[in-house]
Homo-oligomer: A and B are copies of this chain.
């Protein structure tokens, strides 16, 4: 396989915040990301306590940079810092190996 990129976003939503437009914005952002050049896929999950992870896969660092600076995404980032998230960590990683229960690798 050709290496590709994972953007790993781990976050905590405040326990007492209510939705505050978050769910709608998250769905909208996921749609926008999926339409960006170089988008390969996304996994996202959140626990009842508000902690969650989103991993987005991208073809290149240029694709990640284009998404990071997308106008609507930037606006969401502001909301994220202003209250949607209590805290978050962001990591960028190069995926070098993958396997699936649907297609196990040859050993």
Measured CB to CB, the residues of A under 8 A from B are 6, 8, 10, 43-47, 51-53, 55, 81, 85, 87-102
For A97, give the chain B residue with the smallest CB separation.
B92
Q: Give the number of copies in the complex.
A: 2
Q: Say how far A103's CB is from chain B's closest CB, in angstroms.
A: 10
Of the candidates B10, B55, B87, B92, the one whose C-beta lies within 8 Å of that of A95 is B92
For A45, give the chain B residue with the smallest CB separation.
B45
Tell me what chain A mostly uses at the interface: helix, strand, loop, or mixed: strand
A45 neighbours in B (Cβ, 8 Å): 45-47, 51-53
A81 neighbours in B (Cβ, 8 Å): 101
Of the candidates B52, B53, B89, the one whose C-beta lies within 8 Å of that of A101 is B89
A94 neighbours in B (Cβ, 8 Å): 93-94, 96
For A80, give the chain B residue with the smallest CB separation.
B101
